[in-house]
Amino acid sequence: MTLSKLQYISQGVTAAEQYDAIQQALDHGADWIQLRWKNATDEERFRLAEKVRRQCQRYGALCIINDSVDLAKAVDADGVHLGLEDESIEKARHVLGADKIVGGTANTITHVVKRIREGCDYIGLGPYRQTFTKEKLSPILGVAGYQKIIADLKKEDISFPAIYAIGGIGLPDIPALLEEGVYGVAVSKAITETPEAIVEFKQLLS
């Protein structure tokens, strides 16, 4: 499967805000949605995930669930994205099956190698810069961080899956990140605030 180079990570305090932001993103051409809604009950998250999954299907977009293998399974999402402290990649593969997408977060070369060994389909590597959409932020990478990690992988002749830069990324950041060998980007705030920017993001990424 060829993965889209642009992933939209949803934002919103309420279910309505989340759904509206996702709808706006889909309307402006997003073809990969990662549903990320931390401060909700399991029931609320399930109801929203069902709606989002259906809407993504209508638009021909991928729907990935953040942090919950069971929720991804329950709504038959296209896959799951797991943080370093979440459930294991192994469990995700076992529960969801080989045809689903399993992505994992990384912050260091050690994390990246761990994710590769676990068999992730893609790696969300970050944060690129300071971001306020995530609590308990790992150390900032900047362009130099991506450059070093990708250079180290190549030096050790380690083949790696698609690496997505994540964390406070805007349009001006794309060329430098692509130059360092990043495959794509995962964006939250910039798209939530300006969904029209999706067109420009896609042009730069292609």
The total number of structural domains that make up the chain: 1
- Write out pLDDT tens, residues 132-168: 655 566 789 999 999 999 999 999 999 999 999 999 9
Would 51 be classed as within a structural domain? yes
153 in a structural domain = yes
Residue 1 forms part of a structural domain: no
Domain with 165 in it: what CATH number? 3.20.20.70
* Residue 30 pLDDT level (bands cut at 50, 70, 90): very high
Residue 186 lies in a domain: yes
Contacts of 141 (CB under 8 A, 6+ apart): 107, 125, 126, 127, 128, 149, 167
Q: What is the pTM of this model?
A: 0.95
Average pLDDT for the chain: 95
| Domain extent for 185 | 6-205
81 found inside a domain: yes
Is residue 54 a part of any domain in this protein? Answer: yes
